[in-house]
Amino acid sequence: MSREAILGRIRAQLKRGPLEPAQAAACDRRLAAAPAALLPRMAQFADRQALTAAFCQRLTAGGAELRRVTAWPAVPATVAAMLGPAGRPALGLAPALAMLDWAAAGLTVVPGPARPAQPAAITKAVAGIAETGSVVLASGPETPVTLNFLPDIHVVCLEAAALVASLEDGFGAARAGGLPRSITLIGGPSRTADIEQRMVMGAHGPRRLVVLLVGDHGG
C-alpha cells in the first residue's frame, strides 16, 4: 500500500525505523500544545487603545472601509447608510445577526447561505487581528461561509472586545469553542496582480469589504 511505502521510504532515508515511543510521545506533546510563539513587535501592543488603533490603520491600509459603531442596535442603520442604493435589493445575512432590527433601517435581509444575485452580505466575525488588520470568520450553523465570498459587497460586524493582537490569538479565538470547519482571515477586498503586475481590485471575491467595529472598548 502506498501509505506503508511512503512511510517506509521516509524511514529508510532517515536511517531509522518507526519512532521510538519516547520520541513519538515528544511529537504528540508538540501536537497537543503550541510552543511559545515568536511574536514580532508589530504583534505586541502597550494597551487596548494601541491595539485597536493598529487594527484600524492596517485594515484600512488593506483597502477595507471601517466604521465605528457604539452599540449593536445602531448597526442596521449604519449598514444602510454605508450601502446607499446598493442596499436596496435583498441582502444576505448571517443568522447570527438575525436578532437585529434590519427592517427598521429599511433593509430587506435573507438569513442563510449566499444566493447568486445578492449584491451584499452581512456577516459576523469572531475576532479581528491587529497584527495584520484582518477579520476572522469562522463557519458554523449561524455563519455560512458562502456569504464571505459571493456577494460584491461584504459587510463584517466585529465586536471591539473581540480584537486580538496576533495571528496565534486570532486562531485561538476562532477555535475557542472547538475548531470550526473553516476559518478565514480576510484583510481587504479581493484583488489580483496577474496582468502585468498591475493591482486590480475585485478579482473573484467581494469588491468592497466594509467592517463595522461595534462597541468602544479601548477607545
Q: Which is nearer to other proteins, 7 or 161 (CB)?
A: 7
Using the rule CB under 8 A, give the single segment among 17-25, 67-75, 77-85, 120-128 that binds other proteins. Answer: 17-25
CA-closest candidate to residue 88, choices 76, 80, 96: 80
Query: CB–CB of 159/192 below 8 Å?
Result: no
164 binds other proteins (CB under 8 A): no
> Contacting other proteins (CB under 8 A), which of 89, 179, 216, 219?
179
**How big is the chain, counted in residues?**
219
CA distance 6 to 20: 19
Amino acid identity of 41? R
> Contacting other proteins (CB under 8 A), which of 65, 90, 140, 218?
140
The dihedrals phi and psi of 148, each to the nearest 5 degrees, come to -75, -20
Q: Which is nearer to other proteins, 57 or 70 (CB)?
A: 57
Shortest separation between residue 210's beta carbon and other proteins, angstroms = 15
> Contacting other proteins (CB under 8 A), which of 98, 110, 176, 203?
203
177 binds other proteins (CB under 8 A): no
Host H or E run for residue 212: strand 208-214
> Contacting other proteins (CB under 8 A), which of 21, 22, 41, 99?
41
Q: Which is nearer to other proteins, 37 or 81 (CB)?
A: 37
Going by C-beta distance under 8 Å and a sequence separation of 6 or more, which residues neighbour residue 30?
none
Amino acid identity of 89? P
> Contacting other proteins (CB under 8 A), which of 45, 109, 171, 173?
171
Grid coordinates given for 208: 468592497
Task: Annotate each residue in 48-87 with x if it binds other proteins (CB under 8 A) or - if it does not, as one string.
Answer: ----------x---x-------------------------
Burial of 37 (0-12, 13-18, 19+ CB in 10 A): exposed
C-alpha to C-alpha distances, 75 to 110, 158, 201, nearest whole angstrom: 16, 10, 26
Using the rule CB under 8 A, give the single segment among 45-53, 80-88, 106-114, 117-125 that binds other proteins. Answer: 106-114
Kindly state the number of chain residues that form the binding site for other proteins, as judged by CB under 8 A.
79
99 binds other proteins (CB under 8 A): no
